[in-house]
Structure 1
Amino acid sequence: EKFDVIQVEGTFVGPYIHTIRKYHTGVIALRMHNVEYEIWERLASNERNPFKKYYQRILAKQLKKYEASLLPMVDITATVTDDDGQKFKALHPTGEYCTIPAGIDLDVWKYTPSDSFKRFYHIGSMEWHANAEAVNWYMDKVHSLICLEDNEYGLHLAGKGIKTPSFASHAQLSVHANVPDAYAFVAQNDVCVVPLWSGSGIRLKILEALAAGKLVISTTIGAQGIQYTDGEHLVIADTPLAFLAVYKRLLSGELDYKRIIRNGRLLIENQYSTIALAEKQLAKYSTFSKGKV
């Protein structure tokens, strides 16, 4: 069977490109979900243990070299953000690049706007270093501050690899293991917190939260790649006191979270739905596929 375009998903399936090229005469597209070397550079920058920092720096350099080697092997690289595209273009300036953000299936992520802001949540695998770093930072620096401000506030953590005993000492916290239905978990909560410091690409969990009608409070790094306006589609907080200040504004009514929720859903409908993005991606591949599509 012959195909006009074969799309390879992510850095770690790169070893298959040689084999695909051997049997495929059409276009090979490389879909890059993150800039992996950037994630490890940021982890190294934030790491206090000198031995871990040294290891992470070596790994970041190796990943950068490996990712750079993949780019000339394909016909086009599709990134999830313009920023990622520029980073890859710096590694291989003569390559062909396009930006196709992550898409949200609106039939799955139905609009269930919250009428409260008391139930915060984070969902994501704790086996991914950046998520573990983010959650630990939030628990160490932010959670207790908001607890002191409001005893009705609560945080719900869910995701693969969460070690419940390590959070046993924290009040106003519920820890869930692997939730069977991510949408159901999100729908019963109010505020998605994304305190990432080492991420790259685009945070699908933010897009899902916006689609579902949840207020998102994120660090700048956590929200990178999303075409948002702070205070219109989501809220940015980059320090513990900034997170606390956002909560105080919610308590006082100064922050109209229901308006932000509505704007967030419209952003997803207009720019990040799977239907809109699929049309954009097919149009791009069609013009680039050497007249075979």
Structure 2
Amino acid sequence: EEVARIWKLPHLVRAHNVDSEFFRVLARNSSGPRAVAYELEYHKLRLAELSMHHSPLITCIADISLEDHNWRRTRASIPTFHLPPFLPVGALTAPTGTRSAGTEPAPPGRKPAPRDSAGKKLIFVGSLDTPTNIEALRWFLGGCWPTIRVRHPDATFQVVGRRPEEGLAAWLGGFEGVELHTDVPSVAGYLATATLSVNPMRSGSGVNIKAIEAMAAGTPVVSTPTGSRGLGWTPGTHLLVAEDAGAFADAACSLLEQPWKAAEIGTAGQAYVLQELDHTALIGRIQEHLTPA
């Protein structure tokens, strides 16, 4: 704010989520001293947001999530707008030889080719010390994975992430077909050879970048409504969305059983993120909001 005031520069605040709501969720999913710390952070951030929403030094606020933008625009006296996340740098770059068939958009009028990956691989990517991610894994492995394994005994589930919390490896080791890959240099190779990516988030805010990374690689995504919030993609076209465990397992199995359907979802999702999250287009949108009328 001081830089904006002294140099008379336009000041854009880029919000990746409603921070106070994020910490309220963390407080809800924690206990003991950690829950108290998260609750204090929630109240501190609420006051900070109130100040930001009415700051005379802020030109505008850009929310990564459409839902967050709709929440904020009724509370702020300064202009707000929805600015989707930029496509992650290198999201389309996979190690040589790992990119599977079906990850490039098919020519008009032609069906995309199914992935030529070994076996049936499901993947979850995310930080493994975040309460919302751990909550998602527990829900998926407890309510969805047993059904998937009954219908597809040869299926494997790869959990790929960093900083696994204490005891996570031992817990995951109790499930048949589950592999843990931690602190890998890049997730690109894992995504490129996965049959599908699961995003079973039960709480949280903002936009799940893990879903975008999977889509950019042409990997079909199965998500909960919470995991698919924030952007204007269409369930059933760009990704599959299911709320309860039974429906989520059915959606995943439908992609394992119908390779052509998985390829179509993967190709449509990839085309969506390439178009909607294009860097040049998003920078142009920022310029429009920062240029004086």
Could you tell me the TM-score, scaled by structure 1's length? 0.81
Deviation at 1:52, TM superposition (A): 7.5
Q: Determine the structure 2 residue equivalent to 1:81.
A: 65
Q: Larger % of helix: which? A: 1
Q: Is the 8 A contact 2:64 2:85 kept in 1?
A: yes
Q: Determine the structure 2 residue equivalent to 1:121.
A: 123
Match of 1:35 among 12, 15, 18: 18
Match of 2:84 among 98, 101, 111: 101
Deviation at 1:65, TM superposition (A): 2.5
Distance verdict in 2 for CA 1:184–1:102, change over 3 Å: same
Q: Is the 8 A contact 1:124 1:131 kept in 2?
A: yes
Deviation at 1:127, TM superposition (A): 2.3
Residue deviations 1:46-86 (CA, integer Å, cap 9, x gap) = x4969987775564344323222223232210111222112
Q: Determine the structure 2 residue equivalent to 1:238.
A: 243
Q: Determine the structure 2 residue equivalent to 1:216.
A: 221
Q: Is the 8 A contact 1:42 1:197 kept in 2?
A: no
Distance verdict in 2 for CA 1:249–1:189, change over 3 Å: closer
Residue deviations 1:157-180 (CA, integer Å, cap 9, x gap) = 111122322312111011011110
Q: Determine the structure 2 residue equivalent to 1:68.
A: 50
- The letter of the residue matching 1:36 is D
Q: Is the 8 A contact 2:123 2:196 kept in 1?
A: yes
- 1:158 maps to 2:142: no
Paired with 2:67 and 2:277, the residues of 1 have a C-alpha distance of: 17
Paired with 2:91 and 2:139, the residues of 1 have a C-alpha distance of: 31
- The letter of the residue matching 2:70 is Q
Paired with 1:266 and 1:148, the residues of 2 have a C-alpha distance of: 33
Residue deviations 1:193-228 (CA, integer Å, cap 9, x gap) = 111111211111111111110010000010001211
- The letter of the residue matching 2:126 is G
Deviation at 1:95, TM superposition (A): 1.2
Q: Which moved more, 1:52-61 or 1:151-160?
A: 52-61
Q: Determine the structure 2 residue equivalent to 1:167.
A: 172
Distance verdict in 2 for CA 1:268–1:53, change over 3 Å: same
Paired with 1:153 and 1:100, the residues of 2 have a C-alpha distance of: 37
Paired with 2:141 and 2:163, the residues of 1 have a C-alpha distance of: 16
Uncovered stretches (5+) of structure 1, i.e. residues with no partner? 1-16
Paired with 2:91 and 2:250, the residues of 1 have a C-alpha distance of: 33
Uncovered stretches (5+) of structure 2, i.e. residues with no partner? 94-98, 104-114
Q: Is the 8 A contact 2:120 2:256 kept in 1?
A: no
Residue deviations 1:237-285 (CA, integer Å, cap 9, x gap) = 1111012211342354398111111111111122112222222222332
- The letter of the residue matching 1:99 is H
Secondary structure of the 1:152 match is coil
Instruction: Give the root-mean-square deviation of aligned CA atoms.
Output: 2.7
- 1:20 maps to 2:9: no
Match of 1:278 among 276, 283, 291: 283
| Count of aligned pairs between the two proteins | 269
Distance verdict in 2 for CA 1:270–1:48, change over 3 Å: closer
